[in-house]
């Protein structure tokens, strides 16, 4: 064994080995073992993308992966190398500006991530070293260190629990930030470890790091002087996970087994990849089209130039003889440089400044989300938070929403609502009514039954007080206060809540709710002391019960029991569980009386549990006791053996009653879900919770309706047929596919259930175990088939519920839908660290600032205080952002086409000599100054439909679904409009020039005047076109639109009115002022602007608003929309 271990450790790469050996406290074992300190990773957590050293190269590489940036870099280099008609500054300056702005923005976002990492890594922890307690930074913890953690601290890495301050060698933890469950879980120390950890000599052998939170296999060898080492098995109950918090335990000591990026929490992280929006993909597609237009223009001009020059006398006129060097130049090289020169001349058709404007629009636009007062939550005194501004418009394109349940849909606050005892419904009321605070509403026999019911009631309440695993929080000197509070409850009719004085801790919040429910009616659980459970009954007497066994809850049995012995020596079994698991084990006549209540409560969205009991004879107990003890010691098939004993004991019980507990939904959760479905968005609930609970939440949120047929694919349905699971899975998938896909009437895209009442609605339920079978089934042809069947069924269901999911499975589901046919846009929303992987996987990730730490918020793209804010975020903000940016993109391509088309047409009239139509100043300033501000203001402030209307009418969201405004149809419309305007500008001004004498003194206008008139018409037309499209005018719109036009006129006078010493040739000297002295020029400018905008003006005047579903959204004015609402 020694040789084998030596070989394993010396064989190099530790990762290839299937287990690791850890020396507790880094102490070498007895001399028989060779001590080789193994190498493991440190305890640093890294979620940032850049470092100081790699920021520049990595960021530049990412930015130049964008087509436009790379293209402008090439154009800039061409301008520097080749003699081109325009200066390199015209493309170099905008490019430098774009790259710098983007780099600053991304650098700042990454700096925030570094800051968050440092908070975690620099956190001080206590480590035991050579008998001394030393404080260390969390990142310096090594595997094998013994760490001390105090109450309410989080574990800095994955630890094996060695010692606890509690007498019973246990500790309580909450794993809210890992799996979303805020209840307390009990963990146990390794048995037989030394009380003095200094003298503990031990090694731990355990598996290599893996992401499953609920699995851990290992063993610990404890060496004592000259004795055979004791071996103790280690399981998940001994492992404390990084990110979990210690509760109700003063302090614990544990040894680090997994650190840093190898902890289970880190392994459940997805790396943060760069998220790209669909709009960016559309921009790239349009850019390629315009790139083709550019290349074809350059090719046409180059070809025609050489055709024209082939005519005698054209190539070398007498007044422009070629130099010797020009004659010696290779023809093909000259053709190539001419082609490049034309490319440079026309390159403004590709709008580099669009990228700057889009970046600015996203960055500034994100502030509107942060500033929205509706997102402010007075409870936590915070509003919404934007971590990534690149995805604003994606919020308007969401097709699938994946939501967590606990803490997102629900508040994770359980409240006891009502119970039913022996067929009578008891609803709690604040004032004491008959039966000591019970209110009997069902059954005409209530008054007659009053006395007989008393025993049953007390039996029921005792069952609630005994059948649980609740611990009483150690009260701090408030014991007397508690007794008085309970007295107060009995004496006055007022409800005084004793639970405010004493806290309960349980593995599930329902258990606390039931204990508190019993407490309201006079039965108080006082706690467990050395295996004795104490209850304070209605008469203020303390009853003692000896706790013999707890038959733990498990998801397959779906019930839990306790066996207790009363003072009088009776042995009682109390059992509580889901109706489906209790009803078959009790007498049938009792079931009929209670079933009605249970079903009614379940449809109201309450969590229901049935309570039963049984008196055990001495023989029955002895048999059960022996069976349980044997099964608990078994190393093989321990769970199966325990299950057999449990099932044997829990038979022939008597049904006492049922309880209804409510997990309060988040405020407006149902309305939010309904609005999302009305907007054509499909909602999937992904939760780690039990199926029954999740199902009742889905009913309460109106995701499942009463008429919804549920298709269930869970471990339970797979085991029903008694056949192999694989076969049953295949059969069920085919059956459901036939029902939901083949036999279902074809549903029109985006039709919600309210319109499709004739069709059967389906809801789909799957659990984690079955999902892993579907996704990772045997590597034959079936795996792909299962996946596609599963996906098709899900896509045809109105809502899908996935329960008992591990964090990575949530991400797998999102990834599967994201990569499905049509690439739908997905959104994930959650509040715990268990949701981080799905938040990072989806196109848009939203964190909720809930009770479960800030892990989800830190990794999300957007964070909102409550689920209800999602409605406005998508239906109002998302809708508007998308419409704004879509208009911005189309408008940019349009205005650059208007700009460069006259330049292209001009080549036909200047011998293809690459003569620019516009002055260099105009070329540079057109996109940067003259036309950039109005579209930026539009893209930030435009509201083509009022926000209230967008929220009231969710169906408007569908109008822009699937990137409707950036499809090829609208793109073609804008392109044709640009061509029409370009032709009109050029040939309109050419008609003017057919009259030679345009000035009073009879002088002729030159080519720069020609270009300036075209440019003036161009600037005014594109700016006024935007003014016509604006529906929501603010003072900012007025300022930038009229200000831009005024600035253009001022600049033209200024630029042409002074002799600039740094210019070699001053082309525009007094050209603009001269032009305006001509009445004809004035007339043509005004006429051409009116002619260009005439189609738009006619459209606005003649179009009748066609209601809320008008296809051309931008044409529905808020005013017409309001009247329409009133008329309806």
Q: Looking at 91-105, 232-246, 447-461, which range is the least confident one?
A: 447-461
Q: CA-to-CA distance for 117 and 200, rounded, in angstroms?
A: 34
pLDDT of residue 992: 83
Q: CA-to-CA distance for 661 and 862, rounded, in angstroms?
A: 33
pLDDT above 90: residue 331: no
Which residue reads 């792909």 in tokens?
784
When pLDDT is averaged across residues 1-27 and rounded to a whole number, the result is 57
Question: 548 near 532, Cβ under 8 Å?
Answer: no
Q: Looking at 193-197, 215-219, 490-494, 1048-1052, which range is the least confident one?
A: 490-494
Q: CA-to-CA distance for 73 and 1060, rounded, in angstroms?
A: 29
pLDDT of residue 300: 92
Residue 474 neighbours by CB under 8 Å, 6+ apart = 248
pLDDT above 70: residue 361: yes
pLDDT of residue 974: 94
pLDDT of residue 271: 59
Tens of pLDDT along 394-438? 899 899 999 988 778 888 778 888 888 888 888 766 433 334 434
pLDDT of residue 485: 31
The candidate with the shortest Cα–Cα distance to 1013, out of 993, 1042, 1043, is: 993
Residue 43 neighbours by CB under 8 Å, 6+ apart = 121, 138, 139, 140, 141, 142, 156, 157, 256, 259, 260
pLDDT above 70: residue 445: no
Q: CA-to-CA distance for 551 and 575, rounded, in angstroms?
A: 9
pLDDT of residue 1049: 93
pLDDT above 50: residue 21: yes
Q: CA-to-CA distance for 279 and 362, rounded, in angstroms?
A: 12
DSSP 8-state assignment for residue 382? B
pLDDT above 70: residue 572: yes
For the entire predicted model, the pTM comes to 0.74
Question: 915 near 636, Cβ under 8 Å?
Answer: no
pLDDT of residue 635: 53
pLDDT above 80: residue 612: yes
Question: 825 near 399, Cβ under 8 Å?
Answer: yes
Which residue reads 């209307």 in tokens?
949
pLDDT above 80: residue 746: no
pLDDT of residue 872: 92
pLDDT of residue 983: 94
Tens of pLDDT along 75-98? 888 888 877 777 777 778 778 877
User: Cα–Cα distances in Å, from 320 out to 301, 337, 675, 912, 1061?
Assistant: 21, 20, 74, 15, 29
Residue 492: what are its φ and ψ, rounded to 5°?
-90, 155
pLDDT of residue 229: 80
Tens of pLDDT along 675-708? 998 899 999 999 877 677 788 788 888 888 878 8
Tens of pLDDT along 347-360? 888 877 787 788 88
The per-residue pLDDT of the chain, averaged, comes to 80
pLDDT above 70: residue 814: yes
Q: CA-to-CA distance for 285 and 968, rounded, in angstroms?
A: 10
pLDDT of residue 313: 67
Tens of pLDDT along 631-665? 765 555 667 888 888 888 888 899 989 998 887 88
Q: Looking at 129-138, 730-739, 930-939, 1116-1125, which range is the least confident one?
A: 1116-1125
Q: CA-to-CA distance for 60 and 398, rounded, in angstroms?
A: 30
Q: What is the dihedral angle through the alpha carbons of 280, 284, 289, 290, rounded to the nearest 10 degrees?
A: 90
pLDDT above 60: residue 482: no
pLDDT of residue 340: 87
Q: Looking at 314-318, 359-363, 661-665, 858-862, which range is the least confident one?
A: 314-318
- Percent of the chain whose pLDDT exceeds 90: 20
pLDDT of residue 487: 31
pLDDT above 90: residue 109: no
List residues with catalytic annotation: 404
pLDDT of residue 779: 58
Tens of pLDDT along 141-184? 989 889 999 988 889 999 999 888 887 778 888 877 666 666 67
For the chain, what is the radius of gyration of the CA atoms?
38
Tens of pLDDT along 950-998? 899 989 888 888 888 888 999 999 999 999 999 999 999 888 888 766 6
Question: 974 near 877, Cβ under 8 Å?
Answer: no
Q: Looking at 56-70, 636-650, 745-759, 822-836, which range is the least confident one?
A: 745-759
pLDDT above 70: residue 757: no
């Amino acid at each position: 064994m020694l040789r084998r271990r030596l070989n394993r450790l010396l064989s190099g790469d530790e990762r290839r080995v299937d287990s690791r050996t850890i020396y507790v406290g880094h102490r070498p074992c007895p001399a028989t073992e060779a001590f080789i300190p193994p190498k493991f990773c440190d305890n640093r957590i890294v979620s940032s993308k850049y470092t100081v050293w790699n920021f520049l190269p990595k960021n530049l590489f990412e930015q130049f992966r964008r087509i436009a940036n790379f293209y402008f870099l090439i154009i800039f280099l061409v301008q520097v190398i080749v003699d081109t008609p325009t200066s390199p500054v015209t493309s170099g300056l905008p490019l430098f500006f774009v790259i710098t702005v983007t780099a600053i923005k991304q650098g700042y976002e990454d700096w925030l991530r570094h800051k968050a990492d440092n908070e975690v890594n620099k956190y001080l922890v206590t480590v035991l070293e050579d008998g001394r307690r030393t404080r260390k930074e969390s990142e310096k913890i090594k595997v094998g260190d013994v760490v001390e953690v105090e109450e309410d601290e989080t574990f800095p890495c994955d630890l094996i629990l060695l010692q606890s301050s509690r007498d019973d060698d246990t500790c309580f933890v909450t794993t809210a930030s890992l799996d979303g469950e805020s209840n307390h879980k009990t963990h146990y120390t390794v048995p037989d470890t030394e009380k003095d950890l200094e003298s503990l000599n031990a090694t731990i052998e355990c598996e290599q790091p893996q992401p499953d939170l609920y699995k851990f296999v290992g063993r610990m060898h404890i060496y004592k002087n000259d004795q055979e080492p004791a071996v103790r098995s280690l399981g998940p109950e001994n492992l404390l996970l990084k990110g979990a918090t210690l509760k109700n335990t003063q302090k614990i000591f544990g040894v680090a087994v997994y650190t840093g990026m190898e902890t289970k929490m880190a392994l459940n992280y997805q790396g943060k990849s760069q998220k790209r929006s669909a709009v960016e993909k559309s921009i790239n597609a349009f850019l390629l089209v315009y790139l083709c237009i550019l290349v074809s223009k350059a090719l046409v001009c180059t070809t025609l130039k050489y055709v024209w020059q082939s005519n005698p006398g054209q190539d070398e006129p007498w007044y422009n003889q070629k130099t010797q060097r020009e004659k010696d130049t290779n023809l093909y090289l000259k053709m190539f440089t001419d082609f490049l020169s034309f490319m440079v001349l026309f390159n403004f058709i590709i709008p580099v400044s669009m990228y700057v404007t889009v970046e600015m629009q996203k960055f500034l636009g994100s502030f509107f989300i942060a500033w929205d007062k509706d997102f402010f939550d007075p409870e936590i005194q915070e509003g919404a938070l934007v971590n990534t501004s690149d995805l604003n418009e994606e919020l308007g394109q969401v097709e699938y929403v994946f939501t967590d349940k606990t803490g997102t849909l629900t508040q994770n606050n359980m409240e006891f609502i009502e119970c039913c005892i022996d067929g009578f419904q008891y609803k709690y009321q604040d004032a004491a009514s008959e039966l000591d605070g019970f209110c009997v509403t069902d059954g005409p026999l209530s008054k007659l039954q009053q006395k007989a019911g008393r025993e049953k009631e007390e039996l029921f309440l005792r069952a609630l007080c005994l059948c649980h695993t609740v611990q009483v929080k150690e009260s701090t000197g408030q014991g007397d206060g508690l007794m008085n509070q309970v007295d107060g409850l009995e004496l006055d009719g007022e409800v005084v809540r004793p639970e405010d004085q004493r806290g309960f801790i349980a593995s599930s919040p329902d258990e606390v709710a039931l204990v508190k429910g019993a407490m309201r009616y006079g039965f108080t659980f006082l706690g467990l002391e050395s295996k004795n459970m104490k209850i304070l009954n209605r008469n203020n007497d303390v009853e003692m019960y000896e706790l013999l066994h707890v038959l733990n809850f498990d998801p397959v049995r779906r019930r839990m029991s306790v066996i207790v012995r009363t003072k009088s020596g009776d042995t009682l079994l109390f059992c509580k569980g889901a109706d489906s698991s209790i009803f078959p084990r009790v007498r049938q006549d009792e079931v009929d009386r209670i079933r009605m209540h249970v079903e009614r409560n379940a449809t109201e969205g309450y969590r229901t549990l049935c309570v039963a009991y049984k008196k055990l004879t001495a023989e029955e107990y002895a048999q059960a006791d022996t069976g349980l003890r044997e099964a608990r010691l078994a190393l093989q098939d321990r769970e199966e053996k325990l299950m057999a004993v449990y099932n044997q004991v829990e038979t022939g019980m008597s049904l006492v009653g049922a309880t209804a507990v409510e997990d309060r939904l988040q405020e407006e959760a149902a309305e939010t879900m309904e609005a999302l479905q009305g907007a054509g968005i499909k909602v999937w609930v992904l939760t780690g919770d039990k199926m029954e609970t999740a199902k009742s939440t889905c009913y309460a949120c109106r995701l499942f309706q009463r008429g919804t047929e549920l298709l269930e694919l869970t471990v339970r349905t797979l085991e029903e047929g008694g056949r192999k699971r694989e076969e049953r899975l295949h059969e069920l998938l085919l059956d459901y596919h036939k029902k939901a896909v083949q036999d279902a009437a074809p549903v029109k895209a985006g039709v919600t259930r309210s319109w499709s009442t004739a069709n059967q609605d389906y809801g789909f339920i799957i659990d984690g175990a079955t999902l892993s079978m579907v996704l990772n089934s045997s590597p034959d042809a079936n795996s792909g088939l299962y996946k596609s069947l599963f996906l098709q069924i899900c896509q045809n269901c109105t809502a899908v519920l996935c329960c008992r999911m591990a964090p990575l499975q949530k991400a797998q589901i999102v990834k599967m839908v994201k990569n499905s046919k049509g690439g739908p846009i997905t959104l994930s929303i959650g509040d715990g660290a268990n949701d981080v992987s799905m938040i990072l996987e989806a196109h848009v990730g939203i964190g909720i600032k809930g009770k479960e730490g800030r892990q989800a918020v830190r990794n999300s793209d957007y964070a909102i205080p409550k689920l209800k804010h999602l409605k406005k975020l998508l239906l109002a903000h998302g809708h508007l952002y998308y419409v704004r940016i879509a208009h911005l993109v189309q408008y940019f391509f349009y205005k650059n086409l208007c700009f460069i088309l006259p330049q292209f047409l001009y080549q036909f009239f200047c011998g293809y000599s690459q003569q620019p139509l516009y002055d260099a100043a105009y070329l540079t300033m057109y996109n940067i100054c003259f036309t950039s501000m109005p579209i930026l203001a539009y893209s930030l402030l435009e509201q083509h439909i009022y926000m209230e209307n967008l929220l009231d009418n969710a169906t408007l969201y569908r109008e822009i679904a699937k990137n409707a405004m950036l499809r090829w149809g609208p793109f073609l419309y804008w392109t044709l409009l640009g061509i029409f305007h370009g032709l009109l500008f050029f040939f309109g001004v050419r008609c003017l020039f057919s009259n030679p004498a345009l000035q009073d003194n009879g002088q002729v206008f030159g080519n720069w005047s020609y270009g300036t008139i075209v440019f003036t018409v161009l600037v005014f037309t594109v700016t006024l076109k935007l003014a016509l499209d604006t529906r929501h005018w603010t003072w900012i719109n007025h300022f930038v639109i009229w200000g831009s036009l005024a600035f253009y006129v001022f600049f033209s006078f200024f630029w042409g009115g002074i002799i600039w010493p740094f210019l070699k040739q001053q082309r525009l000297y007094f050209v603009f002022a001269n032009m305006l002295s001509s009445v004809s020029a004035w007339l043509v400018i005004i006429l051409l602007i009116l002619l260009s905008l005439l189609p738009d003006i006619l459209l606005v005047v003649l179009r009748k608003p066609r209601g809320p579903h008008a296809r051309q959204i931008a044409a529905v004015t808020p005013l017409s929309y309001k009247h329409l609402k009133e008329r309806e």
